[in-house]
Amino acid sequence: MVSRERAVLVLEDGKEYFGQSYARQGVACGELVFATGMTGYQETLTDPSYAGQIVMQTFPHIGNTGVNSADNESDQVWVSGYIVRDPSRITSNYRAEDSLESLLIQNEIVGISDVDTRAITRHIRSQGAMRAGIFSGEFLANSAQERLDIVKNSQGMIGRNLSGEVSTKQPYVIKAKNTSVGNLAVLDLGVKRSTLDYLAKSGFDVHVFPQSSTMDEILAVNPVGVFYSNGPGDPAASDQQVELLREVLGSGLPYFGICFGNQLFGRAIGLDTYKLPFGHRGINQPVLDKSTGKVQITSQNHGFAIKAELEGIYESPLGFGKFEVSHYSLNDQVVEGLRALDIPAFSVQYHPEAAAGPHDSVFLFEEFKSMVLEHQIRKGEGK
């Protein structure tokens, strides 16, 4: 059995939870969120959307299947800190190449184990999202007040722009895995590899651009459409990407956005966004598709949402025509999707590429492809 030293999780409301250090020792601060999957912890850790967050696994036993290079959603672990109840003492899976703790140590992630994750989850589900800090090693010498001050002085999510930290620095291309529909411009705001894979499987030659790219740079690849990815941070702090999207919509290019790309679409057509009190986390979030009346079970990770009425057709105050809320959460009636009625554009708040998670909404990639092909026919470019 591994011998571990003490560690403590401190919440910004003053609550403390003592446990044992896990992975690296030190201090880590971030917004405390939770992931509900029994599996898929590696995809969670390497998802850029979790940048700036301390992730807590609600399933008690984590790590028994190890990690492998094939399941990474990016080239590194992005979480600020990591919390588990009972880390597996062994790695037992034919696909495993290393242990979970080894991956965390290599990425210098400070963690804590042997805490009551159920009690912590219940607390933040009732009190709302908040900042937190993990303290171990030499930082345990700090007084409780000193630790709390460190947490309270750490940066929260409101007003925070993280796209520049997680986005690619240089453009790159992933070739279509089927007959090519054409070049698709993807603005990387924290994109996952599984998303790019689904786009390539749908027949797009995927051109991935840094988050600071301009319209001229996007038009230089002669795109048949534009895609905005998931990503971390406050959508209200992403004015540059919103202005670029307005240029995209004004050009008539088909648009598809997921997660952060949904929030920025809302802002681009004139809606506001706001911070959710609890956020939507997990792989079992029910969403109603208004066009079909069907319920999709979805994977979600977001702390912000679009402010809009669920019913009715609205006119964009910025001249982009009419639009409607296409999807909403059955848990709390939060907006989960938008669809433009006069231009080829739609977005969803959840993750159709979910891994691990449900695949109810993976058809949206093909729906976007159909929109692109229809747009080409209307322009006289299709066959």
Domain residue limits, the chain: 6-152, 163-378
| Extended beta strands in 99-148, E state | 110-113, 131-136
Same fold, 6-152 and 163-378: no
Give Cα 285 distance to the centre of its chain.
14
Residue 141 DSSP one-character state: G
Task: Determine contact, residues 322/341, Cβ cutoff 8 Å.
Answer: yes
Per-residue pLDDT of the chain in tens (383 residues, 90 and over written 9)? 456 899 999 999 999 999 999 999 999 999 999 988 888 899 999 999 999 999 999 999 999 999 999 999 999 999 999 999 999 999 999 999 999 999 999 999 999 999 999 999 999 999 988 999 999 999 999 999 999 999 999 999 999 999 999 999 999 999 999 899 999 999 999 999 999 999 999 999 999 999 999 999 999 999 999 999 999 999 999 999 999 999 999 999 999 999 999 999 999 999 999 999 988 988 889 999 999 999 999 999 999 999 999 999 999 999 999 999 999 999 999 999 999 999 999 999 999 998 777 889 999 999 999 999 999 998 875 44
Task: Quote the CATH superfamily of domain 163-378.
Answer: Class I glutamine amidotransferase (GATase) domain (3.40.50.880)
Q: Give the per-residue pLDDT at 284.
A: 87
Please state, in angstroms and rounded to a whole number, the distance separating the CA atoms of residues 354 and 250.
30
Cα dihedral 294, 298, 304, 308 in deg (nearest 10): -10
- Decide yes or no: CATH 3.20.20.140 for domain 6-152: no
What does the DSSP 8-state code read for residue 94?
T
d(CA 90, CA 93): 10
- The pLDDT assigned to 50 comes to 95
Place of tokens 């959508």: 235
* Active site amino acids: 259, 351, 353
* pTM of the complete model: 0.95
